[in-house]
């Protein structure tokens, strides 16, 4: 490999003593970050239990149960933990599939620092590691009736394996053809407000009198499918995402004129007259903000649909020119080796997994992308084979 492995991650689990008088309950790891020790894992060996977290503050001698954001991993056979970059703990889960075995618990990233201020408590955030070089999410905004849904549908139809739609939550009623869980998660306002309070949403906004929001889980689900996430959200939502730690491309779709926008809205026939008027009133402010707020990287005019679609593809690197490059958010120069005791039927092979974390991108809220995992099979006849896990 040319570079010495930095750690044998699994070794960390063995012989680690807790050192500050906590009775070990089993399946726990202890990671020091500054004055704090993060105790990850718990007593429960039940395969459905998720990983618990406690923090021991050495400066005060007190235990703290933090607010935990993001979807947690499930554990059954234990895990190993190692601190990366002084701000996140990498966890390798024993006995999981290769696409579910590496997780990050962010303890002091910019995102976590920001959330600590908002919650006024200790906060940690989970982010699953996903392999491959998935491109950054695409945020598409624009006034009602401009053609966002039409353009997104065209993109998803032409490139079904490349793009995945972030399914938002909304308190508005479904339209005739809309399916729950596909177009939106249709939700009661009190349920959604409660979830917002508990940090489950990346962003939310009140639009045309209803509540809309993107859950962290919606964005994670697309990343897990290995696809590039598309978010159809309003300008307020785009502003919140811009201010968040989700690294995305922001595109605003403009109508050729207000008159044309009105015609499209009326021709669509999905809103009452009152709703149409409300949407048109809001459209003027949205267009003004879209064009001048500095939130958006690109503005596209949807006059001729085919031309606008061509331009959108071009922006997304699908029109022959080079794709938009993304820079790694953090540079961690490490390769690690994990011992895997997986046994394949009729095969004596023992796996060594080489984990390259030198080009990680993203993180909470959402997934940590850019993990490169290579598996080496050590056969009993002494021959070594290497293969890449995707």
Ligand X SMILES: Nc1nc2c(ncn2[C@@H]2O[C@H](COP(=O)(O)OP(=O)(O)O)[C@@H](O)[C@H]2O)c(=O)[nH]1
Ligand Y SMILES: Nc1ncnc2c1ncn2[C@@H]1O[C@H](COP(=O)(O)OP(=O)(O)O)[C@@H](O)[C@H]1O
279: cis peptide before it, omega within 30°? no
70 scored as a contact of ligand Y (CB under 6 A): no
Mind telling me the catalytic residues? Answer: 175, 268, 279
Whether the Cβ atoms of residue 38 and residue 55 lie closer than 8 Å to each other: yes
How near is the Cβ of 19 to ligand Y at its closest, in Å? 57
347: which residues sit within 8 A by CB, 6+ positions away?
A: none
Scanning 226-234, 321-329, 353-361, 377-385 for contacts with ligand X by CB under 6 A, the matching segment is 226-234
- Strands 123-131 vs 67-69: parallel, antiparallel or unpaired: parallel
Binding mask 48-67 for ligand Y (x = CB under 6 A): --------------------
Binding mask 250-279 for ligand Y (x = CB under 6 A): --------------x--xx-----------
Task: Provide the b/e sequence for 35-52 (b: ≥16 CB within 10 Å).
Answer: ebbbbbbbebeeeebebb
Q: Angle, nearest 10°, between helix axes 273-292 and 235-243?
A: 40
Binding mask 121-150 for ligand X (x = CB under 6 A): -----------------------xx---x-
Question: Closer to ligand X at the Cβ: 9 or 216?
Answer: 216
| φ/ψ bin of 56: left (φ > 0), alpha (ψ from -120 to 50), beta (otherwise) | beta
How near is the Cβ of 14 to ligand Y at its closest, in Å? 55
366 scored as a contact of ligand X (CB under 6 A): no
237 scored as a contact of ligand X (CB under 6 A): yes
149 scored as a contact of ligand Y (CB under 6 A): yes
Q: Which helix (H) or strand (E) holds 274?
A: helix 273-292
Distance CA 164, CA 231 (A): 9
Scanning 44-52, 71-79, 113-121, 142-150 for contacts with ligand Y by CB under 6 A, the matching segment is 142-150
Positions 300 through 319 that interact with ligand Y (CB under 6 A) = 302, 305
172 scored as a contact of ligand X (CB under 6 A): yes
Whether the Cβ atoms of residue 149 and residue 305 lie closer than 8 Å to each other: no
148 scored as a contact of ligand Y (CB under 6 A): yes
Residue 198: how many other CB atoms lie within 10 Å: 12
Footprint on this chain of ligand Y (rule: CB under 6 A): 142, 144-150, 264, 267-268, 302, 305
Footprint on this chain of ligand X (rule: CB under 6 A): 144-145, 149, 168, 172, 203, 205, 207-208, 212-214, 232-234, 236-237
């Amino acid at each position: 490999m040319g570079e010495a492995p930095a750690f044998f991650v699994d070794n960390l689990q063995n012989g680690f003593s807790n050192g500050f008088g906590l009775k070990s309950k089993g399946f726990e790891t202890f990671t020091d970050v500054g004055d704090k020790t993060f105790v990850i894992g718990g007593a429960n060996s039940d395969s459905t239990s998720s990983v618990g977290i406690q923090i021991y503050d050495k400066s005060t001698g007190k235990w703290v149960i933090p607010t935990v954001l993001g979807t947690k991993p499930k554990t059954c056979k234990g895990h190993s933990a190692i601190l990366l970059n002084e701000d996140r703990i990498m966890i390798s889960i024993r006995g999981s599939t290769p696409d579910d075995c590496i997780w990050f618990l962010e303890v002091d990233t910019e995102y976590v620092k920001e959330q600590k201020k908002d919650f006024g408590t200790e906060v940690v955030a989970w982010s699953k590691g996903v392999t491959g070089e998935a491109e950054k999410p695409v945020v598409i905004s624009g006034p009602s009736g401009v053609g966002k849904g039409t353009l997104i549908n065209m993109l998803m139809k032409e490139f079904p394996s490349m793009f995945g739609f972030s399914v938002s939550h909304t308190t508005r009623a479904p339209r005739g053809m809309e399916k729950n869980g596909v177009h939106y998660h249709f939700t009661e306002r009190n349920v959604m407000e409660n979830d917002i309070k508990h940090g489950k949403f990346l962003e939310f906004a009140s639009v045309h009198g209803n509540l809309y929001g993107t859950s962290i889980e919606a964005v994670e689900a697309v990343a897990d499918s290995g696809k590039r996430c598309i978010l159809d959200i309003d300008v307020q939502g785009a502003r919140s995402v811009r201010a968040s730690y989700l690294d995305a491309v922001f595109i605003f779709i403009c109508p050729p004129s207000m008159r044309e926008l009105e015609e499209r809205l009326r021709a669509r026939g999905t809103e009452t007259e009152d709703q149409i008027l409300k949407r048109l009133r809001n459209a003027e402010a949205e267009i003004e903000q879209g064009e001048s707020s500095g939130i958006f990287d690109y503005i596209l005019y949807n006059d001729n649909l085919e031309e606008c679609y061509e331009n959108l593809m071009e922006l997304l690197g699908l029109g022959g020119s080079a794709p938009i490059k993304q820079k790694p958010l953090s540079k961690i120069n490490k390769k690690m080796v994990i011992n895997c005791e997986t046994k394949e039927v009729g095969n004596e092979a023992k796996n060594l997994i080489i984990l390259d974390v030198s080009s990680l991108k993203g993180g909470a809220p959402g997934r940590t992308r850019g993990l490169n995992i290579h598996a080496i099979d050590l056969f009993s006849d002494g021959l070594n084979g290497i293969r890449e896990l995707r």
